């Protein structure tokens, strides 16, 4: 049996274990007295709780903390773990995961860590070594941020970059250009511009920066942190897949009006959350972002319940389509009968909006009536 001790920020929460290829979790007795349930779909009680053969809330929750695709493959190689062995990968790099969790082997102690100054030349050299080597040094910060793109955990203060070690939390996420620059060009400027545009359009987004090392990098302030360096604290933030109890593999297939509404209705203030997610989906459709999925929505768990957090990973993906074929790119979420950007019409938006807002508002802003909207969205 394999085990990991789980901390939320600096507080012991419980024990993650694997038994006969099934994952399980056991809450610490002190946490049961003063804490709350951290895993949707799991009971908040004493004793060991083991996943089932088909429904696996524990495994899916913690697997969602890990990166995806090429970023995961690279970390598996660097950590010398078998491909697909998520538990071993969490063991190797779980010192800082997405959100607030720290995962340590039994007996290991929380190391306060330190911030090590990172020069532009050193960071530029690491970027040039992608995808052969990960951005964060293995003897410093263990990087397990969720997502498919290469990312680096940093502290960014007064224009200076630092690399945190041990359990010292990072304050920002740094992204270099995509490693396949011929197919996915100017990704740092793309994301910085679209994030800045989103802010100008009234969406809630974190602070962003774009700098040159000389290699261009995009820097995003983490919204799952509070305080300023050196007094930084982790906040309990989970993504849409975790909140719905889904595997990360369902981030696209399960991204529908129904699941988005379910996420909004899980929040402390469902009405404002619905409106914010509705505007987020519209914005993604308008800027040509076909990669807006359930893991791009984050929620903070407070003592009152879930709170929708700022939007991130906003960029235009349709610009990378074959020239003249942009309209054939798929929408992130089907809107009415429209499944591709080129099929999107005002009546389609009206049908889709009808699932979110009052019928009278839909007729006033999008179309005359439901019959006309369906006729116009074919």
pLDDT tens string for the chain (378 positions)? 999 999 998 899 999 999 999 999 999 999 999 999 999 989 999 999 999 999 999 999 999 998 887 778 888 888 889 998 999 999 988 876 556 899 999 998 887 788 999 999 999 998 888 765 666 655 444 444 444 568 888 999 999 999 998 788 899 999 999 988 889 999 999 999 999 999 999 999 999 999 999 999 999 999 999 998 888 999 999 999 999 999 999 999 999 999 999 999 999 999 999 999 999 999 999 999 999 999 999 999 988 899 999 999 999 999 999 989 999 999 999 998 899 999 999 888 888 888 877 655 555 565 555 665 566 676
Alpha carbon of residue 22 to chain centroid: 25
C-alpha distances out from residue 170 to 119, 137, 176, 341, Å? 17, 14, 17, 37
For the annotated catalytic residues, the residue numbers are 291
What backbone torsions phi and psi does residue 29 show, to the nearest 5 degrees?
-60, -40
State the DSSP code for 21: T
Side-chain half-sphere CA neighbours of 250 within 13 A: 15
- The pLDDT, as a whole number, for residue 230 is 87
What backbone torsions phi and psi does residue 360 show, to the nearest 5 degrees?
-65, -40
- The pLDDT, as a whole number, for residue 112 is 76
Question: For residue 170, which of 221, 111, 244, 242 has the smallest C-alpha distance?
Answer: 221
How far apart are the C-alpha atoms of 347 and 353, rounded to whole Å? 10
- CA max distance for the chain: 66
Question: For residue 309, which of 225, 231, 229 has the smallest C-alpha distance?
Answer: 225
232: tokens are 């930084």
- The pLDDT, as a whole number, for residue 128 is 84
- The pLDDT, as a whole number, for residue 63 is 93
Question: For residue 65, which of 12, 103, 17 has the smallest C-alpha distance?
Answer: 103
DSSP result, 354-371: TTTS-HHHHHHHT-S-HH
- The pLDDT, as a whole number, for residue 132 is 59
- The pLDDT, as a whole number, for residue 376 is 60
């Amino acid at each position: 049996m394999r085990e990991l001790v789980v901390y939320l920020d600096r507080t012991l929460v419980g024990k993650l274990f694997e038994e006969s290829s099934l994952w399980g979790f056991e809450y610490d007795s002190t946490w049961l007295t003063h804490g709350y349930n951290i895993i949707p779909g799991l009971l908040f009680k004493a004793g060991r709780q083991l996943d089932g053969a088909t429904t696996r809330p524990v495994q899916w929750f913690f697997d969602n903390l890990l990166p995806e695709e090429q970023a995961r493959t690279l970390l598996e190689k660097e950590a010398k773990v078998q491909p697909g062995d998520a538990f071993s990968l969490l063991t190797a790099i779980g010192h800082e995961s997405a959100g607030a969790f720290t995962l340590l082997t039994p007996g290991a102690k929380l190391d306060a860590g330190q911030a090590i100054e990172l020069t532009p030349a050193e960071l530029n050299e690491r970027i040039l070594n992608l995808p052969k080597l990960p951005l964060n040094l293995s003897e410093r910060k263990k990087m397990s941020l969720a997502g498919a793109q290469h990312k680096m955990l940093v502290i960014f203060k007064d224009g200076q970059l630092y690399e945190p070690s041990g359990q010292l939390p990072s304050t920002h996420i740094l992204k270099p250009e995509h490693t396949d620059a011929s197919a996915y060009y100017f990704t740092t400027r793309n994301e910085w511009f679209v994030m800045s545009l989103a802010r100008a359009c009234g969406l809630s987004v974190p602070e962003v920066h774009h700098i040159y090392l000389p290699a261009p990098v995009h820097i995003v302030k983490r919204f799952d942190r509070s305080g300023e360096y050196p007094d930084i604290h982790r906040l309990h933030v989970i993504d849409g897949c975790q909140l719905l109890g889904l595997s990360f593999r369902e981030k696209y297939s399960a991204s529908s009006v129904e699941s988005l509404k379910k996420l909004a209705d899980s929040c402390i203030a469902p009405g404002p959350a619905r409106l914010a997610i509705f505007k987020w989906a519209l914005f993604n459709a308008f800027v040509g972002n076909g990669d807006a999925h359930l893991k791009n929505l984050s929620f903070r768990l407070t003592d009152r319940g879930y709170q929708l957090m700022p939007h991130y990973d906003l960029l235009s993906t349709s610009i990378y389509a074959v020239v003249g074929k942009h309209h054939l790119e798929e929408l992130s979420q089907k809107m009415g009968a429209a499944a591709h950007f080129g099929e999107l019409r005002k009546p389609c938006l009206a049908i889709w909006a009808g699932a979110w807002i009052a019928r009278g508002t839909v007729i006033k802003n999008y179309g005359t009536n439901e019959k006309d909207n369906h006729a116009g969205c074919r």
